[in-house]
Homo-oligomer: A and B are copies of this chain.
Amino acid sequence: METIIEPRVLKGFRDFLPDSEIVRRDLIARIEALFRLYGFVPIDTPALEYAEILLGKSGGETEKQIYRFVDHGNRDVALRFDLTVPFARFLAEHLSELDLPFKRYHIAKVWRGENTQRGRYREFTQCDFDIVGTDSPAADFEILFVIHHVLKTIVSKPLDIRINHRGMFNRFLERLSLTEKVVDILRLVDKRAKIGVELVLDQLIQLVGTSNAKKIIRFIELKGSFKEIVHAMIDLSGGVCAESDTLLQIHRFLTDAGIADSYILDPSIMRGLDYYTGLVYETFLTDLPIIGSICSGGRYDNLASLYSKERIAGVGASIGLDRLIAALEALGSKAPQDGYARLAIACENVESSGAYQALALKFREQGIACEVFFDSTKLTKQYIAAEKKGIRFVLIPSESAETFTIRDLQTRQNKEGLGLNDILKIVAR
């Protein structure tokens, strides 16, 4: 007797059984269809790339998390850990083949060898969409508009899209002569949601002294209407500037489009990633903020600087599919109804399998999912099998092949002597 290899997946990795995979694929298809309505087009890039390309100027954190190894050809390679870095490389490589502004989406898996203790996965799906090759604020606005449209359509619940401008905070720090410490300050401020404002203050005091620390906390905790906060930020950062103009302009666009209610100016939103240079944003469910941001993004001045001398500016965001699904589950949203088939052809005699499939095809050609059963077990057993799959109707063929019996598993009623057209009418939704 051979030994059995224990069937198991790696920690942090998941199998998706049909019930959850149907939800995932349905969700991806809906998000994708919405992107396409805006003229975003899909691209794809390899899962595996040269490590030097993926690591670029990333710090130690990425290096620790990335799946990196030496391949057969002795190349130093790694699995992508996000879709932004491969996109930057893609832009540098294919710039001459693209018309700018270029609007792409990319829905794909990424891999990070992260600590799995906080419910994080090592393999997860991102849905990125970006507009590159334009500095127009209309592009920033479109990304914000898409976030609203996509998430409102899918979640059907109130959203808090929290916006900030990196440049405003930079100006503010400059005024406090803290520009040199900006990276450390950003890192601390970014931890606010996780560790709470008190702890952030303690750590800021150690970094920049009590007075500055308190000023920073006051800045990031500003409250009020969008406009009120912009004006408070202007006061604290030394007067009107291009960044404050952008914030006010975006607010006008949102108001003109009638969706300003979903957007909050939140000076504590920083997005730790170093490529962001302008507007940044995160999206929370108003009734379920605990789940974290389900869509984050912002503007970058020069995405592909590591791989190209061309300046490629743009703006984009990323929907975290796993968080979105967690949110939908927490909100009690129902799974799609059309998981399995609508109709099953019962098997009375395996020898008739050719005729059964030809019959089933007539339903499939009308877009009605139809299973053919494979074994001539008792009809009651076949009804149970169909019911388990959520199949509503079972067609029982007769020897004549001219008329059929149909059983409605919901009402448990049979109707006999029906022609094909009668049945098509009954099973059509």
Contacts and interface: CB of A to CB of B under 8 A. Distances in A.
Nearest to A43: B21
A22 B39 contact: no
A113 to B, nearest CB: 5
A60 interface: no
A37 B370 contact: yes
Nearest to A25: B42
A356 B17 CA distance: 43
A18 B104 contact: yes
A253 interface: yes
A14 B43 CA distance: 11
Interface string A62-81: 00100101111101010100
Chain B CB within 10 Å, residue with most, of A255, A352, A357? A357
Contacts of A352: 256
A41 interface: yes
List the number of copies, as a whole number. Answer: 2
Interface in A126-162: 131, 134, 136-139, 141-142, 145, 149
A423 to B, nearest CB: 16
A361 interface: yes
A190 interface: no
Nearest to A41: B18
A22 B370 CA distance: 29
A53 interface: yes
B10 A50 contact: yes
Interface in A92-135: 92-94, 97-99, 101, 103-104, 109, 111, 113, 123, 131, 134
Interface of A: 2, 4-11, 13-18, 21-22, 24-25, 29, 32, 34, 36-39, 41-50, 52-53, 56, 64, 67, 69-73, 75, 77, 79, 89-90, 92-94, 97-99, 101, 103-104, 109, 111, 113, 123, 131, 134, 136-139, 141-142, 145, 149, 249, 252-258, 304-309, 338-341, 344, 347, 350-358, 360-361, 364, 367-375, 385, 388-389, 391
21 contacts: A2-B306, A7-B53, A8-B53, A8-B93, A15-B90, A18-B41, A18-B43, A37-B364, A37-B369, A38-B370, A39-B371, A46-B123, A47-B109, A48-B111, A48-B123, A64-B72, A71-B113, A134-B375, A142-B372, A255-B354, A256-B353
